[in-house]
């Protein structure tokens, strides 16, 4: 697919939180040196993993559910243009307004103009990956509008002047003592003797946020799902802050990636089983809010739905990589990933960390922008096993690694592999190479393996040993039998 609703595929502009300040290997090395971070993340991921395993194990039809989720999402991607038009029609018919944004700049400009039209200088926000992706809070600040995050973990990140490090638990890298210190420093009206006791920390946040909910005229949300058949938008969350944002303010603006569609209301049944079990390890999501346009006397009087592309049509155009758009942001792949568990989310330099970030970020920005991310994996396959919609992340990582190599042009690595391929294509050349390789026996005599090779092969031995070539090749052995 090269066009989307008659438009060319769209790559995002350099705005928002997809562009890393440092390549992954550099950032990961720094993160590995932070023992507190490793301890916090190790503890949190182990806990969520155990909860998830317990509730997934209860369902005898878990694999069938995963297959159903995969099939629905595959169908959505095959019919995305028509389903989006259907969604627009249904939302408009129900009294909402739909806006189309090609990239972060357009989406931010639309939201800022909508907020300015209300005369508000403050908005309340539900945790949303799409708005983080486009850097909406920073863009609104340029217009003199303050966005208050209302999800507890997101609030901790915002008050701490920090960046999220996990899709579901953005402050996973902080412990309770650090959170207390952030509240004392940055949350107005907190009592100075606030202890680092979790219920009391939550109570402090609740009192602070209550004022924001009651005074805000405008709320901004993301969306977990949108139903093309009915025009219904759904947000799932655990704290009830989302329900406050979705019902109290006069104006509601939802920014939604175009891939979040489901064809029919019935499809939601599958995802409302898959998502809570995979994300928080719960059987049922605590707060599931759904709304269709606007309703007289109930909830916001104005509803705006901003449909965000920001590189998604380019991902859709790539047949080998488009299933990354199936992601429902449950974060199960993060919690099982041995790389994520050791380096945490910041090392990925993107709003999308972990295995899904390692594929989605380079896909959204173009692999040239983030060439090191596809290598942020051991390819162990745990992410595929955990993914509720069966995204084959390991295969996509390999696909993106090939793209990254192609994008680099002729490198030493490519030259060496091209020479190896040329040698292996001819039995004569291969036999000669085998004989020549025996010269390598001069190296590594002491330990029977080679720990250091001269340039250009030094890159190989920088991270691993090479077995010493055998005295006799398989062909020689065969010939002599
Ligand atoms: S890739 Fe799969 S496991 Fe990872 S966040 Fe997305 S849906 Fe969840």
DSSP secondary structure, 456-476, as one string = TTHHHHTTS-EEPPPSS-HHH
**pLDDT tens digit string along 44-53?**
899 999 999 9
Give pLDDT, residue 88: 98
Q: DSSP per residue over 102-151, as a string?
A: SSHHHHHHHHHHHHHHHT-SEEEE---HHHHHTTHHHHHHHTT-EEEE-S
Give pLDDT, residue 16: 53
Give the confidence band of 17 by pLDDT, cuts at 50, 70, 90.
low
Same domain, 177 and 76: yes
Same domain, 36 and 136: yes
How many degrees, rounded to 5, is the angle at CA 189 between CA 194 and CA 252? 115
Whether 389 has a pLDDT exceeding 50, the answer reads: yes
Same domain, 378 and 452: no
Give the confidence band of 446 by pLDDT, cuts at 50, 70, 90.
confident
- Kindly give the number of the ligand 1 atom that is closest to the alpha carbon of 167: 5
Same domain, 129 and 18: yes
Same domain, 11 and 126: yes
Give the confidence band of 171 by pLDDT, cuts at 50, 70, 90.
confident
Ligand 1 proximity of 360 Cβ (cutoff 6 Å):
no
Q: What interhelical angle do 35-57 and 268-279 show, nearest 10?
A: 140
| Percent of the chain clearing pLDDT 70 (strictly above) | 96
Among the candidates 389, 409, 429, a domain finishes at 409
Whether 5 has a pLDDT exceeding 60, the answer reads: no
Select the more confidently predicted residue: 451 or 278: 278
Coil/strand/helix, residue 290: strand
- Kindly give the number of the ligand 1 atom that is closest to the alpha carbon of 332: 3
Same domain, 455 and 337: no
CATH code of 352's domain? 3.40.50.10420
Same domain, 82 and 160: yes
Among the candidates 409, 430, 453, a domain finishes at 409
Same domain, 322 and 467: no
Same domain, 68 and 128: yes
Range of the structural domain that residue 327 is part of: 1-409
CA–centroid distance, residue 333 to ligand 1 (Å): 5
Same domain, 299 and 441: no
pTM: 0.86
Among the candidates 361, 380, 409, a domain finishes at 409
Average pLDDT, the chain: 92
Whether 6 has a pLDDT exceeding 70, the answer reads: no
Whether 15 has a pLDDT exceeding 80, the answer reads: no
Strands (E), 293-433: 302-308
**pLDDT tens digit string along 101-148?**
999 999 999 999 999 999 999 999 998 999 999 999 999 999 999 999
Which residue lies with its CA nearest to atom 8 of ligand 1? Answer: 330
Ligand 1 proximity of 157 Cβ (cutoff 6 Å):
no
Whether 14 has a pLDDT exceeding 60, the answer reads: no
- Kindly give the number of the ligand 1 atom that is closest to the alpha carbon of 383: 3
**Helix H segments across 22-61?**
24-32, 35-57
Pocket test for ligand 1, best of 332, 348, 351, 358 (most atoms within 8 A of CB): 332
Cis (ω within 30 of 0) for the bond into 145?
no
Coil/strand/helix, residue 216: coil
Give pLDDT, residue 1: 34
Ligand 1 proximity of 329 Cβ (cutoff 6 Å):
yes
Residues β-bridged to residue 147: 123
Cα(425)–Cα(267) distance, rounded to whole angstroms?
Answer: 51
CA–centroid distance, residue 354 to ligand 1 (Å): 9
**pLDDT tens digit string along 265-320?**
999 999 999 999 999 999 999 999 999 999 999 999 999 999 999 999 999 999 98
Which residue lies with its CA nearest to atom 6 of ligand 1? Answer: 327
Mean pLDDT of 252-274: 98
Pocket test for ligand 1, best of 387, 392, 393, 396 (most atoms within 8 A of CB): 387
Give the chain's domain count.
2
Same domain, 189 and 140: yes
Mean pLDDT of 372-379: 96
Same domain, 422 and 369: no
């Amino acid at each position: 697919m090269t066009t989307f609703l008659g438009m060319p595929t769209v790559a995002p502009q350099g705005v928002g939180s997809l562009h890393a300040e440092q390549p992954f290997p550099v950032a990961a090395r720094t993160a590995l040196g932070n023992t507190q971070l490793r301890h916090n993340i190790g503890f949190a991921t182990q806990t969520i993993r155990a909860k998830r395993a317990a509730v997934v194990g209860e369902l005898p039809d878990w694999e069938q559910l995963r297959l159903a989720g995969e099939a629905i999402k595959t169908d959505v991607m095959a019919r995305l243009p028509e389903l989006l038009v259907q969604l627009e029609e249904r939302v408009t018919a129900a009294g909402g307004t739909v806006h189309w944004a090609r990239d972060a700049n357009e989406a931010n400009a639309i939201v800022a103009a909508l907020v300015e039209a209300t005369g508000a200088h403050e908005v309340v926000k539900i945790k949303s990956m799409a708005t983080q992706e486009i850097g909406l809070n920073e863009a609104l600040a340029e217009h003199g509008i303050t966005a208050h995050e209302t999800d507890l973990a997101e609030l901790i990140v915002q008050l701490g002047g920090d960046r999220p490090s996990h899709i579901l638990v953005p402050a996973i890298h902080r412990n309770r003592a650090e959170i207390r210190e952030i509240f004392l420093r940055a949350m107005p009206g907190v009592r100075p003797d606030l202890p680092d006791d979790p219920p009391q920390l939550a109570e402090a946040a609740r009192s602070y946020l209550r004022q924001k909910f009651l005074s805000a005229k405008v709320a901004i949300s993301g969306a977990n799902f949108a139903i093309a058949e009915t025009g219904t938008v759904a947000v799932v969350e655990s704290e009830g802050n989302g329900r406050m944002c979705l019902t109290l303010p006069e104006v509601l603006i939802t920014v939604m990636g175009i891939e979040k569609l489901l064809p029919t209301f019935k499809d939601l049944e599958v995802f409302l089983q898959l998502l809570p079990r995979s994300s928080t390890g719960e059987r049922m999501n605590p707060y599931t809010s759904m709304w269709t346009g606007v309703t007289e006397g109930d909830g916001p009087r104005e509803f705006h739905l901003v449909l965000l592309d920001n590189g998604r049509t380019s991902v859709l155009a790539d047949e080998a990589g488009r299933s990354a758009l199936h992601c429902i942001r449950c974060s199960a792949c993060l919690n099982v990933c041995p790389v994520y568990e050791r380096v945490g989310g910041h090392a990925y330099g993107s709003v999308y960390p972990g295995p899904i970030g390692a594929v989605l970020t380079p896909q959204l920005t173009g692999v040239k922008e983030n060439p090191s991310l596809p290598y942020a994996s051991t390819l162990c396959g745990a992410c595929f096993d955990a993914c509720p919609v069966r995204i084959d992340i390991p295969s996509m990582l390999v696909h993106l690694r090939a793209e990254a190599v192609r994008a680099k042009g002729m490198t030493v690595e490519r030259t060496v592999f091209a020479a190896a391929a040329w040698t292996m294509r001819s039995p004569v050349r291969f036999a000669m190479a085998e004989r020549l390789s025996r010269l390598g026996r001069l190296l590594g005599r002491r330990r029977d393996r080679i720990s250091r090779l001269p340039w250009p092969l030094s890159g190989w031995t920088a991270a691993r040993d090479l077995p010493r070539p055998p005295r006799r090749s398989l062909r020689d052995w065969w010939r002599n039998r």
